[in-house]
Structure 1
Amino acid sequence: MQHNLTIYNTLTRTKEKFEPIHPNLVGMYVCGPTVYSDVHLGNCRTFVSFDLIFRYLLHLGYKVRYVRNITDAGHLEGDNDEGDDKFAKKAKLEQLEPMEIVQKYTLGFHEVLRLFNTLPPSIEPTATGHISEQIEMIKKILDNGYAYEVNGTVYFDVDKYVKEHNYTILTNRKLEDLLNNTRELGGQDEKRGRLDFALWIKAKPEHIMRWPSPWGIGFPGWHIECSAMSRKYLGDQFDIHGGGMDLAATHHTNEIAQSEACNHVQPAKYWMHTNMLTVNGARMSKSAGNGFLPYELFTGSHPLLKRGYSPMAVRFFMLQAHYRSTLDFSNEALDAAEKGYKRLMTAIGLLDKIVPASQNKFDLDIQALRQRCYAAMDDDFNSPVLIAELFELVRLINSVYDGIQRIDEATLMEIKETIQYFIFDILGLKDEQSDGDNGTTEKLMELIIQIRNEAKKNKDFATSDSIRNELATMGIQLKDSKDGTLWNKI
């Protein structure tokens, strides 16, 4: 079928038809984590959202070069162009080398995303592995007249840039408001303008992570890292640049400025941003005491949680909200998402137990439903609408399993294909209950059903009923029919 994929572009604040720069190759860059601590849920929501986007583009047949960086150097406290490097602070605290800190939290980041069943990016570059590219980019920005050097630190000249470009094009904010909201910071006397930001920072004697440069020993500013790495792997201009909405006002605004000052072209055609997380309606943050890490969510160890939730239940919960919508965490919302996820997986588990009929007798147009599923994803990756459509399929599966409706072999295969495409390939869900057990659960249930059948044969109905009731308390339902006893998770 013909797809008319539209994407909401933060740059233009409109939905636009997706037309990649190169017909058969999509370049996508997503700002990755700063690996000096455990990855937080805001990061996870962003990476799950872009995993959905990555999966759908692959499903449509595009070759996608998905680049997601690792920030492992030069990321300061906030964006103040001053203070100690976070990696150095952590290394001193834990008496480790900075790269030991990087390795520890990079591995933790990868493990969390593995639990969320995200596909790995095509390329995962690190800031420390691309120092030379950052230096070359800074040299070119200096040569083009958009930066200046003071005592070994190189600053981007925002005042010069705004004379020829729209510095706030991504956020549509007024330059006067930015100036009024800029605090007086250390090193401000070196800057020509209050909005100027560091491209390269002179290292203090005690600074651990440092590199030689034409301007002396130092380390890169935060923003130049992404500009240099995206340029190296995707070119001067690529298709999609993504990240959390908190990055738009400063990090992505400065990325655009740097890249245009260097390459004379906008770095990305489409800018996409995921929305923020809230907890019971309040913004999630460490200072508010309502921020929790993924493992706290999985184990239920945070005081705001009644219990833990599995990674797939959490992924399903995230996908029930559109990536541009606020996502509110609450015990009630997570409970509801878990029930919905289990209902979905239970219905899928019934497919192999359905005996096809010779003729169809059902009330759902599978082809029309599949087209609606594609239409939802073509509309700026609208996963909540897609999930609502898939529950129509769940209703049909349950109805056929209960003998109310009938489907033939061809229709059963069509349903299985639709499930594979949208639930497993695109939404990226998997059945945690059966994942990795090598059929052990199925074999155990066959044994239990055999024991129960022997009890019924011997008219030991007390044992037969006891087995049925005990299984029900564990969320397993038995159903006796002329074809034997079937079971499913409820």
Structure 2
Amino acid sequence: MQLYKQQQIKIYNSLSGQKETFKPINEGHVGMYVCGPTVYSNVHLGNVRTFMSFDVIFRYLKHLGFKVRYVRNITDAGHLENDADVGEDRIAKKARLEEIEPMEVVQRYTVDFHNILNTFNFLPPSIEPTATGHIIEQIELIKTIIDNGFGYEINGSVYFDVHKFNETHDYGKLSKRKLEDLIHNTRELDGQSDKKNPQDFALWKKAEPQHIMRWPSPWSDGFPGWHLECTAMSTKYLGEHFDIHGGGMDLKFPHHECEIAQNEAAKGQTPVNYWMHANMLIMNSKKMAKSTGNYILPGEIFTGNNPNITKAFSPSVARFFMLQAHYRSILDFTNEGLLASEKGFYRLMDAVNVLDSLKASKTSSIDINKWKQSCYDAMNDDFNTPVLIANLFEGVKYINQIKEGNISVTAEDLSILKETIHAFVFDILGLENNSKSQSGTDKLTGTIEVLIKLRQEARANKDFALSDKIRDELAAVGIELKDGKDGTTFSVN
């Protein structure tokens, strides 16, 4: 169904600095490239947040009926320390430290990456190319850049001539940086003497004798520059001019800036119509850092095995939490935020579970189609998931009011309500209905009943401190005990 003909999407384009109406190059088709991980360590939560943003965008475009080719790469050649032109290859460094082959490092952390994303219920991309699988394309791209006068070879390495490029092009237009300012702020570093200018970046690096990952090229046995990999893979699968290129805000400069320069130098045209950047993730209002302990791995959320959280959270609760912030906003990851999201998530799922039991009437006292369009309007406005979630909770109110008989809906409107809730909650936001797991519900009920029994025994033994502690600690995690003449009951808030 071609819903995209009825909906008009606006995307914040980092290139123009404003929201623009989305018009794909080819009607009904979307080409989207997102920079994937460098697989030398466990995927961190900031990566997950970025990829989740584009997973939702991918889901929404597919929901609207677009045929989407979503390309997300794996960087397995290993760019250098601090994304520089000098230093040690990250993957090779990990291999040396663990005394294994570089491709063992790549395999281990690629599997980890896929496992984590699968746990969060991500859809796989259409194509997931690897940097090492496209060495030939990268070499051919370098040849073209050299032939067009924007690359030069020195001592077996090839560099992009930023100053020459800037004479006829605008280097810095994405990040809004001027080359003059970059020149003024650049320190001369050891190992940069081969370059004509410090701002030039590597297209190909000659491998030192100890460098493990290397390939033959016309210039030397070496390895490609980091920026070049994405240019080669994006244009191979999406063409020289495609719709959307995404990634984290930290990639805007220099990575994406260099991608634009390479494409314009090689192909003579700007590669992408809409540049999208997801903002950073912080924790407890501070930058995440392993050194300070202000850090959590995605898998630790599911086990609760981290001092920054008080309990384990399901993947869908963590996903719901992250989608309550707009992708261009900074997200502060906190235990309190997760606990609040968990309550909201189960409220939403409780309403979803009630949907099938609702009864239709002959008339409707609410405008379901207006509410439905408000959900689309939220996503059409630069994929605004927090506003969408707020609108979904309006739908939750309707569900509860219909259940209680306070408002009425026709069979047709009830069908629209069900379809819309299911489409946005499951197909677009990618949440999973964990609350439908009867065994999980039974286990929770059984556990609470054991605690109620222990509390009753404590009261019988006049151990009121223990009795109050059980009641208060259950209340702290949203489980309220109610003492009545027929015994103690509980409710989950």
TM-score, normalising length: structure 2: 0.87
| Cα distance in 2 for residues equivalent to 1:266 and 1:430 | 39
1:285 aligns with 2:289: yes
Letter in 2 for 1:289: G
In structure 2, the partner of 1:416 is 418
In structure 2, the partner of 1:400 is 402
In structure 2, the partner of 1:359 is 362
In structure 2, the partner of 1:161 is 165
1:93 aligns with 2:101: no
Task: Report the CA distance shift for 1:201/1:412 in structure 2 as closer, same or farther (over 3 A).
Answer: same
In structure 1, the partner of 2:392 is 390
In structure 2, the partner of 1:371 is 373
Give CA deviations for 1:432-454 in whole Å, capped at 9, x if unaligned: 232xx5x6679x79xx9xxxxxx
Contact 1:346 1:488 in 2 (8 A): no
1:245 aligns with 2:272: no
Contact 2:364 2:413 in 1 (8 A): no
**Any unmatched runs of 5+ in structure 1?**
449-468, 478-486
| Cα distance in 2 for residues equivalent to 1:94 and 1:433 | 42
Contact 2:78 2:92 in 1 (8 A): no
Deviates more, 1:280-289 or 1:392-401: 280-289
| Cα distance in 2 for residues equivalent to 1:358 and 1:272 | 45
By how many angstroms is 1:287 displaced?
A: 4.4
Contact 1:55 1:426 in 2 (8 A): yes
In structure 1, the partner of 2:268 is 264
In structure 1, the partner of 2:313 is 309
Q: Secondary structure at the match of 1:338?
A: helix
Task: Report the CA distance shift for 1:125/1:402 in structure 2 as closer, same or farther (over 3 A).
Answer: same
In structure 1, the partner of 2:452 is none
| Cα distance in 1 for residues equivalent to 2:435 and 2:479 | 12
By how many angstroms is 1:403 displaced?
A: 3.5
1:326 aligns with 2:330: yes
In structure 2, the partner of 1:124 is 128
By how many angstroms is 1:25 displaced?
A: 1.6
By how many angstroms is 1:382 displaced?
A: 0.8
Contact 1:80 1:185 in 2 (8 A): no
Contact 2:171 2:178 in 1 (8 A): no
By how many angstroms is 1:415 displaced?
A: 1.3
Written as runs of structure 1 = structure 2, the 5 A alignment for 1:157-196 is: 157-196=161-200
1:103 aligns with 2:107: yes
RMSD: 2.4
By how many angstroms is 1:221 displaced?
A: 0.9
By how many angstroms is 1:392 displaced?
A: 0.6
State which of 67, 73, 90 in structure 1 corresponds to 2:71: 67
Contact 2:346 2:435 in 1 (8 A): no
| Cα distance in 2 for residues equivalent to 1:114 and 1:432 | 15
**Any unmatched runs of 5+ in structure 2?**
447-470, 481-489
Letter in 2 for 1:152: G
| Cα distance in 2 for residues equivalent to 1:406 and 1:489 | 28
State which of 293, 303, 307 in structure 2 corresponds to 1:299: 303
| Cα distance in 2 for residues equivalent to 1:181 and 1:424 | 48
| Cα distance in 2 for residues equivalent to 1:255 and 1:289 | 35
Q: How many residues align?
A: 452
| Cα distance in 2 for residues equivalent to 1:489 and 1:63 | 42
In structure 1, the partner of 2:23 is 19
Contact 2:282 2:331 in 1 (8 A): yes
Q: Secondary structure at the match of 1:281?
A: coil
| Cα distance in 1 for residues equivalent to 2:357 and 2:217 | 67
Q: Secondary structure at the match of 1:78?
A: helix
Contact 1:346 1:489 in 2 (8 A): no
Contact 1:74 1:220 in 2 (8 A): no
In structure 1, the partner of 2:340 is 336
In structure 1, the partner of 2:154 is 150
Letter in 2 for 1:204: E
1:213 aligns with 2:217: yes
| Cα distance in 2 for residues equivalent to 1:159 and 1:287 | 39
In structure 1, the partner of 2:463 is none
Deviates more, 1:232-241 or 1:397-406: 397-406
Contact 2:317 2:345 in 1 (8 A): yes
| Cα distance in 2 for residues equivalent to 1:488 and 1:411 | 31
| Cα distance in 2 for residues equivalent to 1:419 and 1:184 | 57
Letter in 2 for 1:426: I
Task: Report the CA distance shift for 1:475/1:412 in structure 2 as closer, same or farther (over 3 A).
Answer: farther
Letter in 2 for 1:45: R
By how many angstroms is 1:280 displaced?
A: 2.1
Identity %: 59
TM-score, normalising length: structure 1: 0.88
Deviates more, 1:19-28 or 1:393-402: 393-402
Give CA deviations for 1:267-297 in whole Å, capped at 9, x if unaligned: 1110000011122222223344323211122
Q: Secondary structure at the match of 2:81?
A: coil
Written as runs of structure 1 = structure 2, the 5 A alignment for 1:441-480 is: none
| Cα distance in 1 for residues equivalent to 2:156 and 2:361 | 80
Task: Report the CA distance shift for 1:292/1:308 in structure 2 as closer, same or farther (over 3 A).
Answer: same
In structure 1, the partner of 2:11 is 7
| Cα distance in 2 for residues equivalent to 1:225 and 1:235 | 15
| Cα distance in 2 for residues equivalent to 1:31 and 1:163 | 28
Give CA deviations for 1:191-212 in whole Å, capped at 9, x if unaligned: 0011011110001111111100
| Cα distance in 2 for residues equivalent to 1:336 and 1:489 | 13
By how many angstroms is 1:115 displaced?
A: 1.2
Written as runs of structure 1 = structure 2, the 5 A alignment for 1:425-436 is: 425-434=427-436
Contact 1:74 1:219 in 2 (8 A): no
Contact 1:167 1:257 in 2 (8 A): yes
In structure 1, the partner of 2:467 is none
1:57 aligns with 2:61: yes
Letter in 2 for 1:265: Q
| Cα distance in 1 for residues equivalent to 2:231 and 2:85 | 17
1:234 aligns with 2:245: no
